[in-house]
Structure 1
Amino acid sequence: MNTQTHPQLGELGQVEANLLARLDNIPITRGIWTIIGLVTMVWIIEAFDIGMIGSALVFLKQTWPLTSAQTGMLGSAGTFGIVIGLLPAGWLADRYGRKKVLLVGVTVFSAFTYFGVFTTNINQLAVLRFVAGLGEGAVFTAPYLIIAEFVNKKRRGEAVGWANFLLTAAYVLPNAAGVWTMHRGFSAALSWHILFSIGGALIIIVPVLWLWLPESPRFLLKRGKVDEVRRMIERFEDEARLPHDTALTNADTLSAIQAAADRRWGFRDLLRQPYLKRAFVSYCALGSPLALFYAMLVYGPTIFAQMGFGSSNSLLYVGCLQVVSGFGTILASFCSDRFGRPKTHATFMFIAAVCLVLVGLQLPTPFMIAAAVMAWFFGLGGFAMSKLYMSEQFPTQLRATGAATGEVVTRFLLGVVMVYYIPALLKVLHAQGLFMIFGLAMALLVLPLLLVGIETAGRSVEETGKDGILS
């Protein structure tokens, strides 16, 4: 690390630069692992809440005579809520803190999921899923931001990878719960009520987060809470048995702080260079795995059932593929830290695209299963790194806003518009045709990253988010 002192900066700027350099010098200690564990628990709970709609639809279709339009409405209502919830969530997280937004979001989506137990028709349930989605939207970017702003630059990708491995594996939980209700012989009506009850009960995580999850040190520094950050970093240094080096400074981080010191940041900065190009590239990179993610999350069991699998087997198959993609996340995280984000993500997406095309060719069942496993391993395995990469494009004052805007754009186009039309497309193209279209879309969306994406691996988030174009 390039370390030196810079007396030309004001005292407060010098202290901030020192604290950030020390934070980036700290390995992942017990305290930092605790923080990662807490936000991972939030991910797992949110994954159950989002993912259960796919399993619930299997039972709801047996309870209420749903049309394709009603199925599409219920499948997209939660995602539409997420999109709307994300609109203010980024700004609120940049203004009031990552932790506060996280707490409010978990409370909202858990409570309104539980209220779904008492609905008597599909319209009521769709409204509650929309409101729950508002809370999920508030939560979406916070865990990535918190991990990126706590973990050192050398292991940032690895930390997100392990956390996202558990997140990805957690999407098997609603499928497993659905299979469990089937095997217990519960009625379709009782089965979907059980899923919603479990989702609501998970609100118990809120007091745990309130007591033990700290606010992001980088956010606190921008609010002038230097002493609070100093105490936090000294505690981590004590855990790692590192000295409290008040002279340590990273020159590149210091330069980024100096460049942003007197600037006011807002949404309009996303429409100016270099952030406009960075936003476009990173949003496309996120959209590549997101297309596969949403299609399989909401309609995966239905699509595989159309391909000849039974309802129970389809739920298990989709759940197992989610677990497989978790292992892909681990590989992607290690590769992105060592070989770079753009090359790793583009490679993963291209392999997944080819495999999806193979799934659509109606190969013999063993080959089709192998191609599907590879598509999920590489396709959804690259999901976490695309979200981390997006958060690395912007300065601390704009990071949540930039990441939330990316979530809004990609999830509206893919999680609302695409999800709504999938039932109709299934009737025309059938499952095989859809897989081929998904493969082509994934390949096209990752091209901007490969061609003009900047490298962020091994750099502090202050460096990656500054105005200067990185090589």
Structure 2
Amino acid sequence: MMTQYSDVALNIPARMERLPISRFTWLVVLLAGAAWFVESLDIGAIGVVLESVRRIMHLTPAQVGLLAISSTAGIVVGLIPAGYLADTYGRKQLLIWGVVEYSAFTMLAAFSPNFAVLLILRFLSGLGMGAVFPLPYAIVCEFVPKLTRTKFSGILDGCLSVGYFLAPLIGAAIIPLFAPALSWRIFLFICGIPLLYAVVVYKWLPESPRWIEARHGWEQADTAMKVIEARVEIEKGVALPPPRERMGAEEVKGRPSAAEVWKPGHLGNTVIGSIAMVSALLMFYVVMIYMPSLLVKQGYSIAHSLLYTAIITGSAIPGKLLNGWLSDAWGRKPTYILFMVIASVGALLFGTVHSLDLVIAYGCLMGFFGTGTFPGLKMYYAEQFPTRLRATGSSTVETIGRLLGGVVGPYFVPVLILAVGLVGVFRVIALIGVIGPLVVLIWGRETAGWTIEQASGMDLISE
């Protein structure tokens, strides 16, 4: 069923696109970003405590690999229904329950009596993280106008990197203060405190009028839209201008289907987005999870290793801001290709050096450009899917990317280091790092400057 409009002034997408940047825009972006900030503290936690837990529990390399990927495995499983649930029940509702779930299990993990319980609880916390992962980009994609979408996504993703940056810093401050058997538990408990953020989301984050229209029809969306318009008009002190052009209408009131993203019309978007994500996520997860342990193996103390890791992960913050700006000004495709090629060079060189300065320098290349590539990349594939399938499509791409780049690849890293050495491992990472840019270069299509209604009307392969 297609929504019919008698006047452009009634068109929900057109009304959303003509909203000026305001305090309301910043509220939505920062609330969505805060979801990733508290989640990244949790994800970064395992890298911080991994070396301490390995020593205390006398873990084998295989057990270290299992623990390293336990929460990511949960993310992959949690991502499978996340898109469908978000497209069916709303972005806001799933965001709340996801935050509650992963924060609660992170707190419980602090009381784990043994390796098996810790492994299970980290997996369960990952289920909630998986539910949350596709939501901030879907929210910003549907609230922010086309010309500034990736600039704001750079800020949004920067919140994610702030959490990754603070995790090792908090660990460096806490772990030396307590006995090894206690310090990692205190750190995990602190990472679960953002459970309180769910209350903030419930009170302040609105639901997307675009999603409301796609799921429940124009009347309910119009009601939500009027609340937002009135709020912005009060803030600006002037009436909003009329929409300048009618945006294309999408199908409404249809339940999403996970299989639909694999059918002609969406297949190309799913395949290209997944390959691009695997290239970026493998590099990210290896740095995020193993960097403290790799530095310890090179002779640095745990505290110093965490500080150096914070520098490397913190380099992603300016990288993401630059990526967001370039993706709007220059385009999604060239920005992604440039960032990933430079990051792959950093990975290729990282395993060959032993000087601390060069280790940090090449690590920062991977952080600034590899992790920094996500704002434009995630917005790129989120734009490809129509509103009623956006979270489903995004979660599908995230699932494949994190399964291969965040679970399968990192699991084998400890074993591969023994077999081929650090140089060999990072050569593989560099090789995979350039596959995504190559695929996007050949088959990708540019969507910068398009509304999400325009961008979601094409399949990157079938057309």
Measured against the shorter chain, the TM-score band is over 0.9
* Alignment match, 2:368: 377
Cα drift, residue 245 of structure 1: 4.4
* Alignment match, 2:245: 250
Q: Distance in 1 between matches of 2:31 and 2:268?
A: 33
SS of alignment partner, residue 134 of structure 1: helix
Which among 378, 381, 384 is matched to residue 393 of structure 1? Answer: 384
* Alignment match, 1:218: 210
* Alignment match, 1:295: 286
Q: Quickly say closer, same or farther: Cα 1:264–1:143, change in 2 above 3 A.
A: closer
CA offsets per residue over residues 221-243 of structure 1, 9 Å max, x none? 22221212222133224434553
1:463 aligns with 2:454: yes
* Alignment match, 1:11: 5
* Alignment match, 2:150: 157
Cα drift, residue 366 of structure 1: 3.3
* Alignment match, 1:3: none
Q: Distance in 2 between matches of 1:146 and 1:445?
A: 25
1:188 aligns with 2:185: no
* Alignment match, 1:109: 102
Cα drift, residue 263 of structure 1: 7.3
CA offsets per residue over residues 248-290 of structure 1, 9 Å max, x none? 2534x22xx16x4697752232122231111111122222221
Within-5 A mapping of 1:5-404: 10-11=4-5, 17=11, 19-184=12-177, 186-222=178-214, 223-224=216-217, 225=220, 226-241=222-237, 243-246=239-242, 248-251=243-246, 253-254=247-248, 257=249, 260=251, 265-362=256-353, 364-404=355-395
Aligned CA-pair RMSD: 2.2
SS of alignment partner, residue 147 of structure 2: coil
TM-score relative to the length of structure 2: 0.93
1:111/1:200 contact within 8 Å kept: yes
Letter matched to residue 5 of structure 2: E
Letter matched to residue 146 of structure 2: K
Q: Quickly say closer, same or farther: Cα 1:469–1:321, change in 2 above 3 A.
A: closer
TM-score relative to the length of structure 1: 0.92
SS of alignment partner, residue 171 of structure 1: helix
Q: Distance in 2 between matches of 1:349 and 1:103?
A: 33
Cα drift, residue 308 of structure 1: 3.8
2:266/2:459 contact within 8 Å kept: no
Letter matched to residue 235 of structure 2: E
Q: Quickly say closer, same or farther: Cα 1:284–1:181, change in 2 above 3 A.
A: same
Q: Quickly say closer, same or farther: Cα 1:242–1:273, change in 2 above 3 A.
A: farther
1:362/1:432 contact within 8 Å kept: no
Letter matched to residue 400 of structure 2: V
Letter matched to residue 305 of structure 1: V
- Structure 2 gap segments, 5+ residues each: none
Q: Quickly say closer, same or farther: Cα 1:188–1:453, change in 2 above 3 A.
A: same
Letter matched to residue 74 of structure 1: L
Q: Quickly say closer, same or farther: Cα 1:433–1:309, change in 2 above 3 A.
A: farther
Cα drift, residue 354 of structure 1: 1.3
Q: Quickly say closer, same or farther: Cα 1:417–1:468, change in 2 above 3 A.
A: closer
Cα drift, residue 175 of structure 1: 0.8
2:282/2:404 contact within 8 Å kept: no
- Structure 1 gap segments, 5+ residues each: 1-7
Cα drift, residue 9 of structure 1: 7.4
2:384/2:459 contact within 8 Å kept: no
Letter matched to residue 297 of structure 2: Q
Q: Quickly say closer, same or farther: Cα 1:456–1:100, change in 2 above 3 A.
A: same
Q: Distance in 2 between matches of 1:263 and 1:250?
A: 25
Letter matched to residue 304 of structure 2: N
Q: In the comparison of the two structures, how many residue pairs are matched? A: 457
Cα drift, residue 212 of structure 1: 0.7
Cα drift, residue 13 of structure 1: 8.4
* Alignment match, 2:438: 447
Q: Distance in 2 between matches of 1:70 and 1:262?
A: 47
Q: Distance in 2 between matches of 1:284 and 1:123?
A: 33
Q: Identical aligned pairs, as a percentage?
A: 35
CA offsets per residue over residues 370-395 of structure 1, 9 Å max, x none? 23222321111112221111211100
* Alignment match, 1:5: none
* Alignment match, 1:4: none
2:99/2:198 contact within 8 Å kept: yes
